[in-house]
């Protein structure tokens, strides 16, 4: 079953969030999957793990609590927001692979514009090298299979994961997801050509000092419509069963 596209244009966040909840609550096993593409008027959204101290100067930008995973992020004009409304049971894969597929769609979108997107272990989303956004050099902290260590008692235990190090990196796409009855909502936001100042008023995704970038600040001039169409097609391809 193919994904039906809905191009929403520029919309307020809260009514869109409520519409996603209503769609998910009402869907049945026969309901077609949908992919909503939009941009939002300025808003901070706080995930279930969100802490108030990560929003230290909201000013006149509203803060909306949500039931997605993760911490705080910002949405605003010049950002492509994609909400896949999928039945994962019907698609035949689980949440971990779902996250991977969304990230891969973003990476492939960036590659079209000559930018290399990177994953960082323990920090969902897509990042770019600030000194060379086209560099294919692998990050030392990319996701890898966990290694095992042996404690003095001879018992194998999982190796500890170091906290993410964002030195030299900028975050260009953020994920925040929710799964209810095997069905997904919320999604991914790709920064295209934004006013990035609102990010300086928060700890993006709960990380103090994490720099947020968009395509325009790393030298890629592309319109919102073109980026939205491309990301939509990549998501439709990589989220297919």
pLDDT band (50, 70, 90) for residue 157: very low
78 Ramachandran zone, left/alpha/beta (phi>0; psi -120 to 50): left
* Opening angle at CA 27, ends 32 and 65, nearest 5: 110
Q: In the chain, how many domains are there?
A: 1
Please give the positions annotated as active site: 205
CB atoms within 10 A of CB 142: 10
CATH value at residue 157: 3.30.930.10
**How confident is the model over 28-82, as pLDDT tens digits?**
999 999 999 999 999 999 999 888 899 999 999 999 999 999 999 999 999 999 9
* 115, 218 contact by CB (below 8 A): yes
Q: Percent of the chain scored above 90 by pLDDT?
A: 83
Confidence band for 147, pLDDT divided at 50, 70 and 90: low
pTM of the model: 0.92
Domain that holds residue 60: 4-238
């Amino acid at each position: 079953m193919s994904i039906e596209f809905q191009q929403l244009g520029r919309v307020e966040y809260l009514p869109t969030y409520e519409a996603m909840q209503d769609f998910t609550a009402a869907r049945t096993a026969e309901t077609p999957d949908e992919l909503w593409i939009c941009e939002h008027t300025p808003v901070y959204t706080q995930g279930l793990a969100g802490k108030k101290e990560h929003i230290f100067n909201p000013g006149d930008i509203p803060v909306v609590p949500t039931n997605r995973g993760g911490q705080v992020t910002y949405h605003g004009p010049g950002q492509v927001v994609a909400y896949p409304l999928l039945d994962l049971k019907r698609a035949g894969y689980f949440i971990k692979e779902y996250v991977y597929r969304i990230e891969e769609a973003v990476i492939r979108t960036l590659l079209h514009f000559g930018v290399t997107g990177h994953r960082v272990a323990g920090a969902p989303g897509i990042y770019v090298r600030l000194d060379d956004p086209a560099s294919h050099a692998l990050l030392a902290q990319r996701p890898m299979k966990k290694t095992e260590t042996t404690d003095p008692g001879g018992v194998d235990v999982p190796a500890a994961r170091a906290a993410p190090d964002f030195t030299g990196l900028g975050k260009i796409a953020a994920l925040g997801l929710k799964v209810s009855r095997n069905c997904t909502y919320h999604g991914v936001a790709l920064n295209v050509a934004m006013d990035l100042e609102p990010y300086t008023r928060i700890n993006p995704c709960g990380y103090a000092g994490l720099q947020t970038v968009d395509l325009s600040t790393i030298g890629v001039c592309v319109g919102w419509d073109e980026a939205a169409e491309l990301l939509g097609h990549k998501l439709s391809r990589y989220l297919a069963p």
